[in-house]
Amino acid sequence: MTTTTEAEAAERRSAEFAVKREQWAAKYLKTRAERPESTARGVHHMALICSDVERTIRFYQELCGFPLVELMENRDYKGSTHLFFDIGNNNLLAFFDFPGLGLKPGVEALGGVQHIAISTTPENLERVKASLAAQGVPYLGPDRGVTTSIYFKDPDGIQIELIAEPLRVMDGRGLG
């Protein structure tokens, strides 16, 4: 009786999904000339949930360098705050707090956010790495052959990737 090791299983999954990716690409991926213009204008804001408004402001504004640009009451839940950070290129990262609801920390799950990748300059990436290290915030990267990004978690466990590549570029390769 043979047992499949984790490495063998991972290799098999990788090969199976490589075939599927090729099939999906052939069926759905069109060249720039063939595909229609997007009907969207961009991400207005991504709204996440935080447990502590002030801690969230300090983390994103002071550590990451994303200026707080608006702070208001949540129109859907009285007593809740809706706050917005400028993450460049007219994009906003927003948060709600929901005091009194007893929300629990999230887990990585279907339909959830695995990470948010935010483009930055190489200089800011180095500044944030130094700030994370100085404050004892663990981060991953650069690793896996990628020298342009790091991953870290905000105070509520939301995973952020700071990537020192232009928008629509990943691993030095243009996207779309």
pLDDT value, residue 176: 82
Measured CA to CA, the distance from residue 107 to residue 113 in angstroms comes to 9
Q: Please say if the pLDDT value at position 41 is more than 90.
A: no
Measured CA to CA, the distance from residue 55 to residue 62 in angstroms comes to 10
Higher pLDDT, 119 or 7: 119
pTM, two decimals, is 0.83
pLDDT value, residue 3: 64
Contact criterion met (CB below 8 Å) for 161 and 151: yes
Q: Please say if the pLDDT value at position 110 is more than 90.
A: no
Strand partners of residue 169: 174
CATH architecture designation of domain 45-174: Roll (3.10)
What DSSP letter does each residue of 3-25 carry, written as one string?
---HHHHHHHHHHHHHHHHHHHH
What DSSP letter does each residue of 116-149 carry, written as one string?
EEEE--HHHHHHHHHHHHHTT--EE-SBTTB-SE
Sign of the torsion angle spanned by Cα atoms 47, 113, 85, 96: positive
Q: Calculate the CA 101 to chain-centre distance.
A: 25
> At 40, is the pLDDT very low, low, confident or very high (cuts 50, 70, 90)?
confident
The per-residue pLDDT for range 65-77, each reduced to its tens digit, is 999 999 999 998 9
Q: Please say if the pLDDT value at position 153 is more than 70.
A: yes
Average pLDDT value for the chain: 91
Q: What is the number of residues in the chain?
A: 176
Quick one: average pLDDT of 84-98? 95
Q: Please say if the pLDDT value at position 33 is more than 60.
A: yes
Tell me which long-range contacts 125-132 makes (C-beta under 8 A, separation of at least 24). 125/149, 125/150, 125/162, 125/163, 125/164, 127/65, 128/63, 128/64, 128/65, 128/162, 131/63, 132/63
> At 2, is the pLDDT very low, low, confident or very high (cuts 50, 70, 90)?
low
Q: Please say if the pLDDT value at position 105 is more than 90.
A: no
